[in-house]
């Protein structure tokens, strides 16, 4: 395929590679919007569908839950049947899931259709890195992943800003807004995006798929259960069972001729360390946005719009810096930019833990978000570049799928850890209601105790981020 070929789209001429990058970035943006916008809508959804926080919180969790379980499997399918095909198939599933979410008339139907959305999101997430790696040479990938990071940053902000606007109209629009985008971008992707490499002729490893699916299902369910009942014998037993099944999965994959997950890819130290640092980074950081929203809306009593304005500077800086820092990693390698980025995020969480109180000036919070935005811009393009550059050429889909799977394990763990730590100071049912956004008018005594809990949660995130930065430093390139 001639990648310098020019295509015409509504009389606008652009390079085919850049068109692919735009489509991938829009997919990432839509996924990011859905990761934040639903949080703000939970109180309205509770009232509209006559439900309660312990059930409605699954609207958030089932999405991450399905992406976690499905990502590795669909990454392998991308290697077998074509990464662009699987990416665009995911776009279709995601759009249909969004449509049905918008018309769901019960909480159970909404959770079920969010699961469909999550499956589509898994196809998008697991194959996006592989598609970029197919179209961009090694020396260009950092810059390309910087632009996809821009999509994530813009999407996260839009999720907060649009959330406050659309919820006032009708909460169903937070899902329906995806539909016209999907029906416009999806067909363009199907027509213009072609698979650069022929798919691998392999059979599906059904036993490996079942074992890995069970392991991820159990660890995800255990993490979610911690948010509801805390760490006890049941949740501990589930974690142990998940570890045992993971061990059986590894034993099976070692003897399987055509495994779901070719374990030989982990022999590359840079690849393995990049995968692990990515998971730890998500474990430390995914819940931080929720914690900040809880602080601004629960402790400081701001609405969603003004909260988003305070957080906006960091996302804007991260979006602008992303492509530049990606280009830097193309020039000097991934280790230094990624490690510096993680250390900046560590400093960010330390500052949140020490400076956030009842009268912290809002401009101080905005300044701290700039540090976070810079850290994210340094880390994300460099780290995904390190994963994909060190992945075997025929295994981009599996490598991208594993990366996304473990990132999403980190996301689920992040939510569980943050709620567990933050609720040490207040009753768990109150903490769950706060996290679900249904109990933000807090009495003064509860506010004081919950603020202490938030400080502990930021400290736990800082510790995990410091460990991630140390591991990143010891990767090879």
How crowded is residue 18: how many other Cβ atoms within 10 Å of its Cβ? 13
More confident residue, 465 or 262: 465
Provide the pLDDT for residue 2: 46
Q: Is the pLDDT of residue 348 over 80?
A: yes
* pLDDT classification of 28: cutoffs 50, 70, 90: confident
Alpha carbon distance 257, 253 (integer Å): 8
Domain co-membership, 43 together with 119: yes
The verdict on residue 218 lying in a domain is yes
Alpha carbon distance 336, 389 (integer Å): 16
* pLDDT classification of 454: cutoffs 50, 70, 90: confident
Instruction: Locate 373 and state its tokens.
Output: 């935005």
Domain co-membership, 303 together with 436: yes
Domain co-membership, 179 together with 222: no
Provide the pLDDT for residue 148: 81
Instruction: Locate 258 and state its tokens.
Output: 């055509």
The verdict on residue 53 lying in a domain is yes
Provide the pLDDT for residue 137: 82
Domain co-membership, 250 together with 192: no
Q: Is the pLDDT of residue 103 over 90?
A: yes
What letters, b where the CB count within 10 A reaches 16 and e where it falls short, cover 148-165? Answer: bbbbbbbbbbbbbbbbbe
Give mean pLDDT, residues 317-341. Answer: 89
Domain co-membership, 222 together with 334: no
Residue ending a domain, choose from 228, 243, 259: 259
Give mean pLDDT, residues 442-452. Answer: 74
Q: Is the pLDDT of residue 4 over 50?
A: no
Provide the pLDDT for residue 404: 77
> Which range, of 268-282, 364-378, 387-401, averages the lowest pLDDT?
387-401
Answer whether 33's CB lies under 8 Å from 155's CB: yes
More confident residue, 455 or 450: 455
Name the residue among 413, 404, 409, 383 with its Cα closest to residue 71.
404
Domain co-membership, 191 together with 210: no
Percent of residues, the chain, with pLDDT higher than 70: 86
Which tens digit of pLDDT belongs to each residue from 221-236?
776 677 667 678 888 8
More confident residue, 413 or 326: 326
Burial class (CB in 10 A: 0-12, 13-18, 19+), 309: middle
> Which range, of 36-45, 131-140, 445-454, averages the lowest pLDDT?
36-45
Q: Is the pLDDT of residue 196 over 70?
A: no
Provide the pLDDT for residue 246: 87
Provide the CATH number for the domain around residue 447.
1.20.1250.20
Answer whether 439's CB lies under 8 Å from 433's CB: yes
Provide the pLDDT for residue 427: 66
* pLDDT classification of 375: cutoffs 50, 70, 90: very high
Q: Can you list the alpha helix ranges (DSSP code H) found in 256-334?
A: 269-285, 288-294, 304-332
Q: Transcribe 187-202 into DSSP letters.
A: HHHHHH---SSPPP--
Domain co-membership, 134 together with 220: no
Which residues contact residue 159 at a Cβ distance below 8 angstroms, ignoring those fewer than 6 apart? 32, 33, 34, 35, 36, 37, 40
Domain co-membership, 158 together with 229: no
Give mean pLDDT, residues 414-421. Answer: 75
Alpha carbon distance 113, 97 (integer Å): 5
CA distances (Å), origin 272, targets 110, 137, 187, 316, 410: 37, 21, 36, 31, 16
The verdict on residue 6 lying in a domain is no
Domain co-membership, 227 together with 79: no
> Which range, of 57-61, 130-134, 396-400, averages the lowest pLDDT?
396-400
Domain co-membership, 300 together with 214: no
The verdict on residue 228 lying in a domain is yes
Answer whether 259's CB lies under 8 Å from 253's CB: yes
Domain co-membership, 417 together with 371: yes
Domain co-membership, 249 together with 307: no
Answer whether 60's CB lies under 8 Å from 38's CB: yes
Q: What is the pTM of this model?
A: 0.79
Give mean pLDDT, residues 351-374. Answer: 94
The verdict on residue 3 lying in a domain is no
The verdict on residue 37 lying in a domain is yes
Tell me the sheet residues that pair with 15.
6
Q: How do strand 6-9 and strand 12-15 relate by DSSP bridges?
A: antiparallel
Which structural domain range is residue 136 located in? 11-204+260-473
Name the residue among 431, 447, 452, 427 with its Cα closest to residue 290.
431
The verdict on residue 1 lying in a domain is no
Alpha carbon distance 361, 54 (integer Å): 33
Tell me the sheet residues that pair with 14.
7
Provide the pLDDT for residue 433: 62
Q: Is the pLDDT of residue 183 over 80?
A: yes
Mean of all residue pLDDT scores within the chain: 81
Q: Is the pLDDT of residue 11 over 60?
A: no
Which tens digit of pLDDT belongs to each residue from 245-289?
989 988 988 888 777 777 777 888 888 899 999 999 988 987 887
More confident residue, 317 or 68: 317
Dihedral, CA atoms, 397, 402, 403, 407, nearest 10 degrees? 140
* pLDDT classification of 302: cutoffs 50, 70, 90: confident
Q: What is the domain count for the chain?
A: 2
Instruction: Locate 198 and state its tokens.
Output: 């022929």
Q: Is the pLDDT of residue 104 over 80?
A: yes
* pLDDT classification of 9: cutoffs 50, 70, 90: very low
Place of tokens 């074509």: 82
Residue ending a domain, choose from 213, 240, 259: 259
The verdict on residue 2 lying in a domain is no
Give mean pLDDT, residues 371-380. Answer: 92
Alpha carbon distance 279, 263 (integer Å): 18
More confident residue, 399 or 280: 280
More confident residue, 114 or 296: 114
């Amino acid at each position: 395929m001639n990648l310098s070929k020019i295509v015409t789209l509504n009389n606008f001429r652009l390079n085919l590679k850049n068109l692919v990058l735009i489509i991938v970035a829009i997919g990432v943006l839509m996924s990011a919007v859905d990761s934040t916008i639903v949080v703000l809508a939970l109180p309205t959804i509770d009232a509209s569908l006559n439900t309660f926080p312990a059930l409605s919180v699954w609207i958030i969790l089932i999405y991450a839950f399905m992406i976690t379980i499905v990502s590795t499997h669909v990454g392998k399918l991308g290697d077998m049947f074509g990464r662009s095909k699987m990416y665009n198939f995911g776009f279709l599933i995601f759009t249909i899931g969004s449509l049905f979410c918008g018309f769901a008339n019960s909480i159970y139907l909404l959770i079920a259709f969010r699961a469909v959305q999550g499956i589509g999101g898994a196809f998008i997430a697991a194959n996006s890195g592989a598609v970029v790696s197919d179209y961009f040479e090694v020396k260009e990938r950092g810059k390309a992943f910087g632009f996809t990071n821009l999509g994530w940053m813009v999407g996260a902000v839009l999720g907060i800003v649009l959330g406050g606007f659309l919820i006032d109209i009708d909460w169903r629009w937070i899902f329906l807004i995806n539909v016209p985008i999907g029906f416009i971008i999806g067909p363009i992707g199907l027509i213009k995006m072609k698979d650069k490499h022929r798919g691998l002729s392999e059979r599906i490893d059904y036993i490996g798929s079942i074992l890995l699916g069970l392991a991820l299902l159990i660890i995800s369910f255990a993490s979610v259960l911690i948010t509801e009942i805390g760490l006890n014998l049941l949740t501990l037993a589930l974690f142990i069972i998940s570890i045992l099944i993971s061990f059986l999965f590894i034993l099976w994959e070692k003897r399987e001729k055509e495994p779901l997950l070719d374990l030989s890819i982990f022999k590359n130290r840079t690849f393995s360390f990049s995968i692990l640092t990515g998971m730890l980074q998500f474990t430390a950081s995914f819940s931080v946005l929720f914690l900040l929203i809880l602080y601004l809306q629960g402790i400081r009593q701001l609405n969603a719009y003004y909260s988003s304005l305070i957080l906006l500077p960091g996302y804007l800086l991260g979006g602008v810096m992303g492509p530049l820092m990606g280009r830097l990693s193309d020039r000097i390698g991934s280790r230094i930019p990624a490690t510096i980025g993680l250390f900046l995020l560590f400093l960010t969480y330390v500052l949140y833990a020490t400076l956030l109180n009842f009268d912290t000036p809002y401009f101080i919070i905005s300044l701290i978000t700039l540090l976070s935005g810079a850290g994210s811009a340094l880390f994300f393009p460099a780290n995904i570049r390190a994963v994909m550059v060190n992945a075997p050429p025929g295994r981009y889909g599996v490598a991208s799928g594993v990366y996304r799977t473990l990132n999403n394990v980190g996301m689920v763990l992040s939510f569980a850890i943050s709620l567990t730590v933050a609720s040490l100071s207040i009753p768990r049912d109150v903490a769950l209601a706060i996290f679900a956004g249904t109990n933000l008018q807090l009495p003064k005594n509860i506010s004081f105790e919950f603020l202490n809990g938030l400080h502990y949660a930021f400290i736990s995130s800082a510790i995990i981020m410091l460990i991630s930065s140390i591991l990143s430093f010891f990767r090879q390139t």
